[in-house]
Chains A and B, each alone.
Chain A
Amino acid sequence: MTTAFSNYEVTAEDQQRINLFSRLVTQKVDIVEERKKLRQEKEKLEDAQLELELLDEDSEVHRRIGECYILVKQAQAMVFLNSEKETLESKLHDTEDKLEKIKAEMEELKKILYGKFGSAINLEEEDEDS
């Protein structure tokens, strides 16, 4: 009886690839987490925007800055929300780009490693939500 793995020689180069792959997996987990947070943040901003639009232009709202609330005009609050949303969207965009790059690199490595080790190696993640 022999395990499948024993039929393959693992070289230092393979080890490098495996290491890189595991590094990418960790990065991916972090980035997916960050993206989730950004998306939630964006949703909140959009909700706030919707509510604000229903208000009269002269009415005042409490806007949170840090830990306190400041009374501002509706129009001011709109300006603030829009700029917040813009920065958030560009951040989200960066995150998506990074994620795409990592995924592409992982696919590349998967091809090489599966090509060599076949079913003797497992490169699948447990739960994927991307």
Chain B
Amino acid sequence: MFSVASFLLENTWGNSLVPAAKFLEDIDKVVEEHGGISIVFQALEQLYTRYKILDSSLSRQKRSFQEKIPDLTNALQVVRWLQSSGDGEQKEPMETTFELADNVYSTAWVKNPQVVYLWLGANVMVEYSFEEAESLLKENLDGARDKIQQLEKDLAFLREQMTTTEVNISRVYTAQLKKQTSNVA
């Protein structure tokens, strides 16, 4: 997707996903070598747009992982509670209130629970021991957190490339202004 003018990018792709923007050291030279200000301008704008598209796609991915976290922590909390309630040799049934449907709650007595069922999606529910359920949920939670962290790193890198490009654009612009005024004078 980054088929823009290569002179705007570093050769090394430090990050596999995002190509690094080059800081244009000598604007005049770059403009001269690559066919004039308007072409350089266009290339910069194009690069910036690409970055922006990537930015929104990565942000979306991050949000979707973030949305999973509360569900997982809720489930984990219940499993851990079930686990600890078994430890106390407390055999009497526990009264719980659960959501039957939106705004409808019902009461259930849970008697000495041993297993728990996890919803795996696609209409499949599987029976797990508390330990297995806990480790599975924990794994998913850690996985989601890792993914978010990775995405945050990518995003931070991407934002830096965007800033570099923004500064490049404004510097090309000032170079152009300078040239125009010196021509007039």
Contacts and interface: CB of A to CB of B under 8 A. Distances in A.
Interface centre among A2, A66, A69, A70 (most CB of B within 10 A): A66
A12 B74 contact: no
Interface in A106-121: none
Interface stretch (A3-11, A45-53, A88-96, A97-105): A3-11
Chain A facing B: main interface SS:
mixed
A1 interface: yes
A78 B96 CA distance: 18
A62 B97 contact: yes
Interface string B79-94: 0010000000000001
Contacts of A27: 156
A70 B95 contact: yes
Contact of B98 (A2, A6, A19, A67): A67
A3 B174 contact: yes
A70 B105 CA distance: 12
A71 B85 CA distance: 13
B98 A68 contact: yes
Interface residues of B, number: 28
A15 B94 contact: no
Interface string B142-181: 0000000000000110011001100100110011011001
Interface in B29-48: none
B163 A68 contact: no
Contacts of B174: 3, 5-6
A23 interface: yes
A18 interface: yes
Contacts of A26: 155-156, 159
Chain B facing A: main interface SS:
helix
Interface centre among A6, A62, A67, A68 (most CB of B within 10 A): A68
B117 interface: no
Given A23-B156, A65-B77, A66-B75, A71 B94 contact: yes
A71 B92 CA distance: 13
12 contacts: A2-B177, A5-B170, A6-B175, A6-B177, A12-B23, A18-B163, A19-B164, A23-B156, A66-B74, A66-B75, A68-B98, A71-B95
Given A12-B25, A23-B156, 19 more contacts: A2-B181, A3-B174, A6-B175, A10-B167, A12-B23, A19-B160, A22-B160, A65-B77, A65-B78, A67-B74, A67-B78, A68-B78, A68-B97, A69-B96, A69-B97, A69-B105, A70-B94, A71-B94, A71-B95
